[in-house]
Structure 1
Amino acid sequence: MSSATTTTTTNSAANPPKSPKKMNGKLSLFSHIKYEHMVAGISGGVTSTLILHPLDLIKIRFAVNDGRVAAPQYRGLSSAFVTIFRQEGFRGLYKGVTPNAWGSGSAWGFYFLFYNTIKGWIQGGNAAQPLGPALHMLAASEAGILTLLMTNPIWVVKTRLCLQYENKLDLTSNENYRGMMDGLIKIYKTEGVKGLYRGFVPGMFGVSHGALQFMTYEEMKNSYNEYRKLPIDTKLTTAEYLTFAAISKLIAAAATYPYQVIRTRLQDKNHSYKGTWDCIKKTYSYEGIYGFYKGLKPNLTRVVPASCITFVVYENVSHFMLKRRKDK
């Protein structure tokens, strides 16, 4: 073999093509799927849900309380905890936890799987290649849409289970549910597929929440590693993951919270709206701007630590599993 041929072969091995466009598009995309991201995402989502579900339940009850439907009244976060515990017991604080754990676990699992697959495809398999804010937003948005399509029915059931007040329960009625599967079946029988996808339109707007959070989180990590003159995919400490997760979640939550109120009210069977725009108009008409931010305090109290727990668990589990794959 000639030296020129040897040099060409060596260069080709050392510098594989960076652009996924040089390969078959379909094969290129699927070659970046790594189940470790899904397992790590599920682990983080379920862990944070089991710890913080009571705050999620209280946030939902605050969000739907517009003063026009019969619902318990709470003076604040601590008052809500005490009232629910007295009236419904410890189990009352964990109403809807099963679909919430399923929904959160599957949502984070699918989200991290889709996001990292799309991100890896854009990077051409080079994890050390920075994408920039625009491409991070694009990857996160596409992952969010795919995740929402798969998990919206679970969120509908979770919302309705959280809004089954003790004094209104009649489990023989089609309007009340014994659990997640019973809820899915009853909603499908009485409302069809449309019922399972209530709140989907504002949920689409909510994709911007995840996109903004992931873009902020990734850019902060990348900038921090570049400042330290390290590859952008270098593993950070737990404290550093916690800090970046908290900041990115606060920014995203403050910017996009109103869609969550609209989505929750559309999913609540105690309210009757003709659609998303009707819900927005009525909320503003009866409650003003404040109505779009009901439940923000318990939401921030929940989502910031939830995000921190999820991301720390995800980062550590994924790094551990991917390292094992590499070592094998």
Structure 2
Amino acid sequence: MELRCSVAGSGGGQAAVGAGPGLAMEGQGCGEDYESLPTSVSPSTHMVAGAEAGIMEHTVMYPVDSVKTRMQSLQPDPKAQYKSVYGALKRMVLTEGFWRPLRGINVTMLGAGPAHAMYFACYEKMKRTLSDIIQQGGNSHLANGIAGSMATLLHDAVMNPAEVVKQRMQMYNSPYKSVLDCIRTVHRTEGFGAFYRSYTTQLTMNVPFQAIHFIVYEITQEKINPRREYNPRSHILSGAIAGAVAAAATTPLDVCKTLLNTQENMALSSLNISGHLSGMVNAFRTVYQLGGIPAYFRGVQARVIYQMPSTAIAWSVYEFFKYFITKHKLEKRTPY
């Protein structure tokens, strides 16, 4: 399927939904392609598509995310030392129960919907606005990177508390009985600020991650889908490549974020650090003291394995819902 425009004849015909796979857009010239929806479409289109994509992305890949969190542990329990993603999943299921890799998934689902709704809506709006300023009528990669970075500010403001709770639930021998127990305990013992202790580190990681991610995605789309049609295979492939490149490049920052979120007791006590670790600089220093340069890349395999299908799912689901919602709206207002 593809979403494309058709030009009315000299007699001034009306654009309509054709019998074939193409979808003509009323009142739109051929400069308006699938990737940038008609300006008459409400941002709610992007928000609904983004929410669906975020929930699907995080739930499908959640078990691998649980493994990534554990593999990034700087001083793990001997019973929680893993050599591979598959080996970790197998041991978690056999020793801790079938549902253990999914522990904390409910708080992730609650955060992922609104976070990704704002994320994609902001990205689409800023992408169009900045592209018109930087490269009028074209697709500016600089605009894509800046738009992705700005969208991250909204996304992380919603997701950071969910990420803190999720990662504490994922750790080996987590002391929390449920998501609500974790929220109450963290708030009571560490204060509300604990939910945003890693926010600056999260932004420091996600701003370059999303800038790289969106730029690589758009470049890949230009190479394999230059007409910007609705093509699921191209969205999956572009998303996977973009996710893998961005994930590998930003793994050191992800390790620091995990340390700040989990406040790993064994690791901090081994350096005689009392109280709670805070701040990106302190996290970087602590990671280096605990394992040198290699420590910054703990869990890189799990992170790439998680991010490749994760971003592929996110983009394919997002682009599908963009297509589906737009097609539905156009069919409703097109006379037959």
Same fold (TM over 0.5): yes
Deviation, 1:133, is: 1.4
Runs (5+) with no aligned partner, structure 2? 1-26, 30-38, 269-276
Aligned to 1:25: none
Asked if 1:251 is matched to 2:265, the reply is: no
Q: Aligned runs of 1:1-328 on 2, under 5 Å?
A: 34-64=43-73, 66-67=74-75, 72-122=80-130, 129-163=137-171, 165=173, 169=175, 176-179=176-179, 181-206=180-205, 207-226=207-226, 230=227, 234-271=228-265, 272=268, 273-327=277-331, 328=333
The TM-score normalised by the length of structure 1 is: 0.78
Deviation at residue 53 of structure 1 after TM alignment? 1.1
The answer for unaligned runs of 5 or more in structure 1 is 1-13, 17-29, 170-175
Contact (CA 8 Å) 1:153, 1:196: kept in 2 or not? yes
Give, as a single letter, the amino acid of the residue that structure 1 aligns with 2:250. Answer: T
Q: CA 1:107 to 1:140, structure 2 compared with 1: closer, same or farther past 3 Å?
A: same
SS in 2 for 1:293: coil
RMSD: 2.8
Q: Is the 8 A contact 1:157 1:183 kept in 2?
A: yes
Give, in whole Å, the separation in 1 of the partners of 2:262 and 2:193: 14
- What is the percent sequence identity of the aligned residues? 25
CA contact (8 A) 2:131 2:140 kept: no
**Cα distance change on mapping 1:69 and 1:86 into 2, 3 Å:** closer
Classify 1:278/1:31 alpha carbon distance in 2 versus 1 (closer, same or farther; 3 Å): farther
CA contact (8 A) 2:61 2:306 kept: yes
Q: CA deviation at 1:150?
A: 2.2
Alpha-carbon contact 2:115-2:154 (below 8 Å) kept: no
Task: Give secondary structure in 2 for the equivalent of 1:93.
Answer: helix
**In the superposition, relative to structure 1, how do residues 223 and 73 fare at CA in structure 2: closer, same or farther (>3 Å)?**
closer
Pair 1:186–1:70, CA change in 2 (3 A) = farther
Cα distance change of structure 1 residues 151 and 192 upon mapping to structure 2, 3 Å threshold: same
> Which stretch of structure 1 is more off in the superposition, 146-155 or 71-80?
71-80
* 1:27 corresponds to: none
Would the aligned equivalents of 1:212 and 1:252 in 2 still touch at CA under 8 Å? Answer: yes
Distance 2:28 2:307 in 1: 43
The corresponding residue for 1:6 is none
Distance 1:35 1:51 in 2: 24
For the Cα contact (< 8 Å) 1:32–1:120, is it kept in 2? Answer: no
Aligned partners of 1:130 and 1:222 also within 8 Å: no
Match of 1:21 in 2: none
Supply the AA of the counterpart residue of 1:268: T
Q: Would the aligned equivalents of 1:132 and 1:219 in 2 still touch at CA under 8 Å? A: no
Please list the CA deviations of residues 37-56 of structure 1 after superposition, one character each: whole Å capped at 9, or x if unmatched.
12112212222322221110
CA contact (8 A) 1:32 1:117 kept: no
1:153, 1:184 within 8 Å by CA — same for their partners in 2? no
**Would you tell me which structure has more helix in proportion to its own residues?**
1
Distance in 2 separating the partners of 1:252 and 1:270: 26
Q: Which amino acid aligns with 1:291?
A: A
Q: How many residues align?
A: 285
Give TM-score scaled by structure 2 length: 0.76
Separation in 2 of the partners of 1:324 and 1:129?
Answer: 27
SS at match of 1:129: coil
Match of 1:4 in 2: none
Q: Is the 8 A contact 2:67 2:88 kept in 1?
A: yes
Q: Deviations over 1:52-92 (max 9, x none)?
A: 2111001000112x237677222332321222112211111
Would the alpha carbon gap of residues 188 and 129 (structure 1) be closer, same or farther in structure 2, given more than 3 Å must change? Answer: farther
